[in-house]
A and B are shown apart, each in its own frame.
Chain A
Amino acid sequence: MSKFKKKVVVKQDIPTSSMPDVVFMLLFFFMVTTQLRETNINVKQILPEATQLKKLARKSLVAYLYIGEPKKIEEWGKEAKIQVNDVFIAPKDIIQWVNQEKSKLNEFERDLMTVSMKVDVETKRGIIADVETELRRANARLVLYSTRQKAEDN
């Protein structure tokens, strides 16, 4: 006679009845967090890395500006370009763009508008400084240099 007891058969099924619920929950999460990108970025975008990052408090108060070498070099050349809302603009058009962005906001919020500059690592300071001068003229003086988080702190 065996010393060992016969093993109890354990039910091994994972209950699948709640799977649709789980999936729906995930679905709703992604539906809520998704934002379809309305602009195609036509400049190279490898953002620099930094450690002291600040988050932007309110997304509605942010205007985006992209600077970098155009992706289509044969069409636009190798010189770094400024892109806002799907089009390339010259530095002198920035004041107009800022005013346009500000007019979308409520009057009391206009001075709180932040310009988020997404600048490619290879871009030279010259063009960025030109943009900054125009931003100063346009009285949009809150600027965020968009960066990635640096992994280690050294």
Chain B
Amino acid sequence: MPRSTPDIPNASMADIAFLLLTFFLVTTTVANDKGLSIILPPPPEALPPDVDVKIQERNLFKIQVNSFDNILVEGNPYTGSMRELSDQIKEFVLNNGQNPESSDNPEKAIVSYKTDRGTTHKRFVEVLDAVQRAYYEIYAERAGVTTKKWLEISGDLADPDNRKLYDLGRGRTAEGKPEIPMNVSIAEPSKVGG
């Protein structure tokens, strides 16, 4: 008895595949989760009460932004570019006591960043970006890599080679602390109008 050979028509297969392809093309959202990462300080309740930490004026680099998005750097109105701001911060961090007005050493240097409750997020990110760029450029230069590469390295510390470069860039004291810590203090914003 002759067996009928079952045939599935496959001429339309490409069309079906195309249809599915278009569907997935349209619905795809490429995961683009990138941004500026920070670590928030411990909760206000956990901090020891009324401990006045004395920080010398010279070790503070003050950036303030008001509700009109105007910037004060070290108390003076600032209108320059963000690139110049990064360069100023780099100079401040790496001063090592040369200029008596600027920081003693990178470990003590603190960038203090205060905004107003009315400051826009756009401005906040712009300035934070400039501050982080200053530090990343210092690290990258010490590690002998590009800043872009540095950001990749710091995102994957499980790799021992990366870890080595990371420690080279930030420096590592005997206690395992970085020689150039990223001391950025983001203060609670002032009330509107400040």
Residues of A within 8 A of B (CB): 19-20, 23-24, 26-27, 30-31, 33-37, 48-57, 59, 62, 114, 116, 119-126, 128-129, 132-133, 135-137, 139, 141-150, 153-154
Mark each residue of chain B from 137 to 172: 1 if its CB lies under 8 Å from any CB of chain A, else 0.
000000000010001101110000000000000000
Contacts of B129 in A (CB 8 A): 50-52, 147, 150
Whether B21 lies near A54 (C-beta < 8 A) is: no
Q: Bound state CA distance, A52 and B129, in angstroms?
A: 6
Contacts of A51 in B (CB 8 A): 129, 133
Q: 8 Å CB contacts to A: which residues of B39-76?
A: 39-45
**What's the interface size class on B, roughly?**
35 or more
Contacts of A31 in B (CB 8 A): 20, 24
Contact of A125 among B20, B30, B117, B133 (CB under 8 A): B117
Whether B120 lies near A139 (C-beta < 8 A) is: no
Q: Bound state CA distance, A19 and B21, in angstroms?
A: 13
Whether B39 lies near A133 (C-beta < 8 A) is: no
Determine, out of B10-18, B88-96, B97-105, the stretch whose residues face the partner at the interface.
B10-18
Contacts of B178 in A (CB 8 A): none
Q: Bound state CA distance, A133 and B79, in angstroms?
A: 30
